[in-house]
Amino acid sequence: MTTVLPAGSGTLHYSVTIYKGQHFRQSSWVSVAAFKRCMQKDLSWSHGVSKSLKTQRYNFSRFPFYESWKPSRTTVKSCLEDGSTKFFDFVVIGSGVAGLRYALEVAKHGSVAIITKAEPHESNTNYAQGGVSAVLCPSDSVESHMRDTIVAGAYLCDEETVRVVCTEGPDRIRELIAMGASFDHGEDGNLHLAREGGHSHHRIVHAADMTGREIERALLQAVVNDPNISMFQHHFAIDLLTSQDGSETVCHGVDTLNTETLEVVRFISKVTLLASGGAGHIYPTTTNPPVATGDGIAMAHRAEAVISNMEFVQFHPTALADKGLPIKPEKSRENAFLITEAVRGDGGILYNLAKERFMPLYDEREELAPRDVVARSIDDQLKKRNEKYVLLDISHKPREQILAHFPNIAAECLKYGLDITSQPIPVVPAAHYMCGGVRAGLRGETNVRGLYVAGEVACTGLHGANRLASNSLLEALVFGRRAVQPSIDHMSQSGFYVGRSGRWARPVMPSSLQSSVMDDTLNVTKQVRKDLQSVMWEYVGIVRSTTRLESAEEKIHELETRWEKFLFQRGWEPTMVALEACEMRNLFCCAKLVVSSALARHESRGLHYTIDFPHVEESMRLPTIILPCSTVNTTWSSRQLHKQPV
C-alpha cells in the first residue's frame, strides 16, 4: 500500500509516501506513483539518495570563553570576495557540534565559512544537558547499544546506520577529549558513565548536566585557533542557491541576511553542509533555543531535497514547569528549561500532584522507559486529572550527589525558590527534537549534489520513530565526521561560479516600505507565529487524531494565506526579506511537512500516536518520504526567492 498526497493540488504541493516493500533496506521502497510523478530511480539509506530523484537564551556572561568570543576575522587568505558576495570552498550553516566538527576537518583542505544565526554558541548543542552515549564500558557492547536504539526507535531505525553510529561513537568521544573537552570521571579515574531512559547500560559520557556546553566550548576554541575558518555570526540563512544540471539539482551556496547590518550577503561555495538544527519553535513550548525555527529543513525542501519522517516530533517528558515554581519567572521564557533525562536515570521518580507514582501503571520500565512512553504517560495524567504539571523527585538521593550531578538544574531551580535536594521539581512535556529531516545517506549526502547534512536537520535513519536519550550529540559527531571525505572529493572536482554569481535574483530588504507598514508587518507576524504554534500544540501534539490533523492542515492553510495576503497587499515583494518574516515562512513550511507526514502514517509508532490507528502495523514499518514535485500554486514559504535565474 502506498499513501500519496498529490502534488500541486489543494494546499499540498508535494507527495507524501509510505511504501510497503519486502524489506526495510530494499532500495525500491519509494512508490511507483511517486516515481512517475518525480523521476525514476531508486534510493536506499545505505547509498544515500539517488542523484536523479528530484523533489521539491541563555545568559552566558558568567562563562569567560563566551564573554570573550570575538571573531578575529571575517575572511581568510584562501577566500575570494566580490562586494556582498563571498567565495569559499566549504560553507557550513550552523555552529552546533555537527557543523563545528565538520568544519575543523574540511578546513585542512580549503577555506571554510561557518554561518550562524546568532552568537556562535547559540545552538541546540549548547542546551544539551545529559551527555553523549557511547560504548566505553567493558560490560557494554555495540550490539547492546544497537538494540536499545532500535527498540527505542520502535523498530523503524535503519540497522546499518545504527551499527555505524554505535561502532564509531567511542572514537568520536576520544577525539573530543584529545581536543580538550573535559568530562566527569569517577573515583577510579575512568570516565563516569551515567544511565538514562531506554539504555540497558551505563554509557552516557557527561560533564555534570552541562555536557553540550562543554563540547561546544572545546570545538569553538579549536575553530578560533584555525586560520582557515571564518565565522559569520548574526547571518540568517535565507535560501540555498541551486541550479539544474540535466536531471540533477546542484547546490552552489546560500543567501544570508546580516541581521546586524541588514545587508544581504551571498556565499558561493563548492560544498555546503546544512547543520542548522531542528524546528522546535513550531510549538509554543520547546526546549530549543530561539534560533530553532526549522530554517535548514525548510531551505532544503525548497531546494528539492528529499525530506523524511517529519511526523516524529520528540517531546521531552520533563521540561521545567514554571507554573509549579514557588517564585514565578517575571516574563515568559523564550525556550523551556530542560530537566535532563539523567535525573530519572539517577533515580528520579515521577508523581502526580496527589503524590501518586504513576509510571508503573504505563510501562514495566517505569521512569526509565523511552521518552515517547514517558511523555504520553505524563500527558495522560495531565488530561485525566486536569492538572498543569507533574512532579519529578530526586530529593531522596544524597544532597552531595544531586549537586555534583545536576549543578545547573539545582542553580536554575533555586533562582525560583525551589531546592531540588529537598523538593520535587514541577515538570511538563515540551517539544524537544525532530527525528525527521533532510534525508541523508551514510556519509551525510543528499539527493542535491554538493549539499550535505548532519545533526538534527538530517534524517539518517538512526532514530527511527523515537530518539534514544543522548544519541543526538553522538549522531552529530559521527555524521559531522563521515560527511568530510565525500565533501573533500566533491570540492576537488568543483569550480567556483565566480562569473555567474549574479545568475540568481538577489533578495532585497524592504527599505521601500514605510516604517508604519513595517511595524504593522512585524506585529502581525508575531501574532501569526503564536497562532501557528497554538494550532500545532492543540492539533498536532503528543496524542493525535485524523480529524484533528485535518483541522490543523486547514487552519494552517488559512493562517498562511491570510498572512501572505496581508504582506503583499501592503507592498511586500516576494524577494523581500526580514528576519521575522523569513522565520515565519520556515515555520509554516515545517509545520505543513509535519502535518502531511502525520496524516500519511496510519498507525501509532514511536512518537506518532493517533487514536484512530492506536496500534503498530508491521506493514507500515517504513519511513515516510516527502517528494516535492511541483511549484504550481505554491505559497511563499514553499518557493525559493531566487527560483528563476535572472
236-254 residue pLDDT tens: 999 999 999 998 999 999 9
Cell numbers placing 131: 551527555
- Angle at Cα 498 formed by Cα 496 and Cα 500, nearest 5°? 110
Q: How far is CA 143 from the centre of its chain?
A: 26
Reported as a pLDDT band with limits 50, 70 and 90, residue 128 is low
Contact indicator for 392, 343 with CB cutoff of 8 Å:
yes
Regarding predicted confidence, which is higher, 24 or 419? Answer: 419
The set of residues, in sequence order, having a beta carbon less than 8 Å from that of 265 and lying 6+ positions away, is 84, 85, 86, 232, 235, 255, 256, 257, 258
What confidence category does residue 433 fall into, taking pLDDT thresholds of 50, 70 and 90?
Answer: very high
pLDDT of res. 68 = 35
Looking at residue 619, the DSSP 8-state letter turns out to be G
Reported pTM = 0.86
Residue 163 pLDDT: 98
Distance CA 402, CA 343 (A): 9
Contact residues for 497 (Cβ-Cβ < 8 A; gap 6+): 252, 268, 503
Percent of residues, the chain, with pLDDT higher than 70: 83
Please, what sign has the CA dihedral across residues 461, 341, 400, 180? positive
Q: What is the mean pLDDT of residues 256-284?
A: 96
> For residue 132, is pLDDT > 60?
yes
Residue with the three cell numbers 512585524:
522
Phi, psi at residue 316, to the nearest 5°?
-70, 130
Of the listed ranges 58-62, 153-157, 223-227, 600-604, the least confidently predicted one is: 58-62
pLDDT digits (tens, 9 = 90+) for 323-358: 999 999 988 888 899 998 889 989 999 999 999 999
For residue 560, the model assigns a pLDDT of: 97
d(CA 14, CA 640): 15
Q: How confident is the model at residue 499 (pLDDT cuts 50, 70, 90)?
A: low
Q: What pLDDT, on a 0 to 100 scale, did the predictor assign at position 39? A: 33
372 C-beta neighbours (distance < 10 Å), count: 27
Residues 536-546 as b/e (b if ≥16 CB within 10 A, e otherwise) read: beebbbbebee
Catalytic (active site) residue 371: yes
Any idea which of 61-70, 272-281, 434-443, 635-644 has the lowest mean pLDDT? 61-70
Residue entry with cell 532500495: 27
**What does the block give as the cell for 441?**
545517506
Catalytic residue among 371, 443, 529, 585: 371
Q: Report the pLDDT value the prediction gives residue 603, as an integer from 0 to 100.
A: 97
